[in-house]
Amino acid sequence: MGEAIQKMPRTERGRRTLRSLLDAAAAEFGEKGFHNASISGITTRAGAALGSFYTYFDSKDAIFRALVRDMSRRVKEHVAPAMAGAPDQLGAERQGLAAFLAFAREHKEIYRIIDEAEFVDPQSYRLHYETTAERIRERLQAAAERGEVRTDVSDIHAWAIMGMNVFLGLRYVVWADEEPSKVAAIASEMISDGLKPR
């Protein structure tokens, strides 16, 4: 399928144009889905010329692939600072879930885009979840070494937490409008009971 971004911007103006195109693509794909979205729809939303699009991307597929990676990165960048100030890993997981839910509340299109990636770009879809689960596993194993969680934490625990987070976001943020901290508090109590040191 080729590389998503043809050329990285060298100037601040170029970085703003690229960011504008990715944000417009999120809105276009989120509203219309991959197949009904168009490059002209993206450039119109971005207020960019068609030539600007082709400076960075060679196709609708290419910007979609770049968007999936961009959304994964943006979730990580939004969640990491929220987790940093927690007193322990279980608190960090709670704060991370609340931050993820708050991000999803503002960017509900992420669910449609990631779901469509399963069919449009299965490699990006799988990579999105694998890298997310790997970050959770690494955090849990570090916490186990510090004695904060059970010593037998594994990939299964990481995928279980990730799956719970994804579906809590779908049910309580995309389909409803619950307060993220309330949902995170209830879920983290369950996680704490399941991960507490034995």
Per-residue pLDDT tens digits for 12-27: 998 999 999 999 999 9
Rounded-to-integer distance, Cα 68 and Cα 45, Å: 18
Q: Which domains are assigned to the chain?
A: 65-195 (1.10.357)
pTM of the model: 0.88
Rounded-to-integer distance, Cα 97 and Cα 116, Å: 23
pLDDT confidence bin for 115, thresholds 50/70/90: very high
Q: Does an H or E element contain 12, and which?
A: helix 12-36
pLDDT confidence bin for 2, thresholds 50/70/90: very low
What are the structure tokens assigned to 94, written together?
């709670």
From 103, 99, 83, select the one nearest 91 (Cα to Cα): 83
Average pLDDT over residues 91-104: 95
From 80, 170, 68, select the one nearest 128 (Cα to Cα): 68
For residue 41, pLDDT over 60 is answered with yes
Q: Are 47 and 20 spatial neighbours (Cβ–Cβ below 8 Å)? A: yes
Q: Does an H or E element contain 94, and which?
A: helix 89-106
pLDDT confidence bin for 1, thresholds 50/70/90: very low
Any idea which of 6-10, 61-65, 83-87, 179-183 has the lowest mean pLDDT? 6-10
